[in-house]
Structure 1
Amino acid sequence: MSTRTIPEPHRTAVRRGAPVRRAGARPLRRRRPTRWAGPGPGPRPRLRRLGALPWISPAVVLILAVVVWPVVEMVRTSLRRIDTSGVDQGPAGFGKYRKLFADPRLPDVLTWTAVWTVVVVALTMVISLALAQLFDQRFPGRTITRWALIAPWAASVLMTAIGFRWMLDQVAGVLNRLLLDLGVIDTAEAWTGDAAHAKPWLVFVAVFVSLPFTTYTLLAGLQTIPAEVYEAARVDGASPLQTYTRITLPLLRPAFLVALVINLINVFNSFPVIWGMTQGGPDADTATTTVFMYMLRSYDVAESAALSVVNFAAVIVMVLVFLKVSGWKEAAR
């Protein structure tokens, strides 16, 4: 039986673990990647350089069209002279801003706007926190009460405001009829006829329509707190007050900040509640800056645009100051 002899170079290759090549075969060459050349789109690696831009570009275009362009147009309008028929009479510089700040009604409007925002937001957050903690517990009828809370949110805010206006009407309002029948009042009251009576009702309606969103935001935050944390606190002997102040409130802080910031913006810019109930009257006594801006558009569009610019700047500054003071970066980690 003959033995096949492997040539010396092949034996060396086998010993080193390299692949054995048959005699006469072409040497193996490493294939180089083909380069793109010619018309048409480039290869995929070049598209990857764009990152997420192709995906977020529709949102960017929408923001530019819905937010940025109206702001630019608003600023441009505030610097023009536009008559009541809408005809542009040329540049006005900062004259409309000087006219706006010279309006004797503006200080009272600014004061009421600040009071309105602080009172409505504070009451909304406190009541919503209590409701969220209530709905986080198990009790009979919890599902029904949760659905009932959505009703003010599901209905139109303007429709709700108009409904309350009719309830408070001096002649046909059900509130006056009820109080008269119970003997609480002797004559029907004009609850929205003057600022002293109207402002508390405006605050009540604003809180009423703000509760659903805020309550569900805080309820979602409460339900993300692990039950093991409370169990560990009970094992350590923590009292209910200590558990609430040292566990619940710190862990609820991110949801609380979200609800608070959104409420600040919504209440400051609120229009349907006041316009639907009092239309800012009498004589702008119940008007906030947003409602007053709408009232000015009948007399001077450019001055109304100037107040819009002031409103927009106030919202930006208010949110930035609040986020700086609250330390939202640490809370988001």
Structure 2
Amino acid sequence: MHNRALPYLLTLPSLILAAVVIFWPVVDLIQIATHDVSRFGQLRDFNGVANFSALVADPDFIKALLRTGVWTAAVVGGALLVSIPVAVVLNTDFYGRSVARVIVMLPWAVSLTMTAIVWRWALNGESGMLNSALRGLGLADQNIQWLASAATAFPMQIMIGILVTVPFTTTIFLGGLSSIPDDLYEAAALEGAGPVQQFKRITFPLLKPFVNIAIVLNTIYVFNSFPIIWVMTQGGPANSTDILVTHLYKLAFRVGKLGEASAVSLVMLAILLVFTAIYIRLAMRGERA
């Protein structure tokens, strides 16, 4: 009996910590989201789902929700497409590989906020480095206001999101590639398989579990990512680059609608939980098949 209870006793401190760190704030969010709240956080009357109804009726929330989907899918998908070939190259043995790995990892070592600030300077419409480079190369004859329109600002933010996500994703794939035995490649080469065939038949199938890990972790990270959008445009111009997390911040600290902001937080939590559960289920089903 004592041996059966031992695993539960050993995990009890972690469960208590998780309850304090995760479940307690969620309970507080639910309480705030179902009440009228003053600008100073004082709970007033219970209003049920009124805050959630207000979100559904808010066109800015709907646009931010859809834009968050585009932002997350584009950044996570772009990071995967870039990271896999980068990891394959960095996994091969060549002179200067250590230096190349350090260069690839550098964006990960820099603060995300500082990265966004540097890119905001580079994309300045008057004195930005990008405009200067384009004019110097003869590719543009006038300055482009990169951050003045969502048509240019949001794609640039996606590009920067991919750039800062690649190092972490590449690290995951390098760990996966290092676990693949070299004997498989040697046997495939003896059978006449070229590099492309080896990638399709050996590398990618054995890398799938790591791809699943990268997708889940990056989706959670990118979905909640705040600094790039906020530092570069603060969701502007005219809320045209807002995602859910920046929309939440504005509701809470600019407009003072803490109840609706808490409702946005719960919607984000629900979306991530549903996505994670469905994706893991599909991934496990695929592995069994």
The TM-score normalised by the length of structure 2 is 0.93
Residue 329 of structure 1 and its aligned partner are, at CA, apart by 7.9
Listed as ranges, the gaps of 5+ residues in structure 1 are: 1-44
Residue 84 of structure 1 and its aligned partner are, at CA, apart by 1.7
In the alignment, residue 280 of structure 2 is paired with which amino acid? L
Q: 1:277 aligns with which of 192, 211, 232?
A: 232
**For 1:51, what is the secondary structure of its paired residue?**
helix
Matches within 5 A, 1:1-333: 46=2, 48-297=3-252, 298-299=254-255, 300-327=257-284, 330=287
Question: Whose Rg is larger?
Answer: 1
Judged with a 3 Å threshold, the aligned counterparts in structure 2 of structure 1 residues 87 and 180 are, in CA distance, closer, same or farther, namely same
1:188-221 Cα shifts (integer Å, max 9, x gaps): 2221111011011101110011001100100110
**Aligned mates of 2:128, 2:195 — CA distance in 1:** 46
Identity %: 36
**Aligned mates of 1:279, 1:239 — CA distance in 2:** 49
Residue 313 of structure 1 and its aligned partner are, at CA, apart by 0.4
**Aligned mates of 2:77, 2:187 — CA distance in 1:** 32
In the alignment, residue 208 of structure 2 is paired with which amino acid? R
In the alignment, residue 203 of structure 1 is paired with which amino acid? I
The count of residues paired between Structure 1 and Structure 2 equals 287
**For 1:150, what is the secondary structure of its paired residue?**
helix
In the alignment, residue 315 of structure 1 is paired with which amino acid? L
Decide which structure has greater helix share: 2
In the alignment, residue 104 of structure 1 is paired with which amino acid? P
The TM-score normalised by the length of structure 1 is 0.81
Residue 327 of structure 1 and its aligned partner are, at CA, apart by 2.3
In the alignment, residue 310 of structure 1 is paired with which amino acid? V
Listed as ranges, the gaps of 5+ residues in structure 2 are: none
8 Å CA contact 1:257, 1:328 repeated in 2: no
Residue 328 of structure 1 and its aligned partner are, at CA, apart by 6.2
1:217-271 Cα shifts (integer Å, max 9, x gaps): 0011011001111222233333433322221111111111111111111111111
1:254-292 Cα shifts (integer Å, max 9, x gaps): 111111111111111111111111111112110111111
**Aligned mates of 1:201, 1:187 — CA distance in 2:** 18
In the alignment, residue 169 of structure 1 is paired with which amino acid? N
**Aligned mates of 1:78, 1:321 — CA distance in 2:** 26
- Larger RCO, structure (CA 8 Å, separation 6 or more): 2
**For 2:45, what is the secondary structure of its paired residue?**
strand
**Aligned mates of 1:175, 1:144 — CA distance in 2:** 26
**Aligned mates of 1:160, 1:105 — CA distance in 2:** 27
1:111-164 Cα shifts (integer Å, max 9, x gaps): 211111111111100100010000011111110010111211111111111111
CA RMSD of aligned residues (A): 1.9
8 Å CA contact 2:32, 2:43 repeated in 1: no
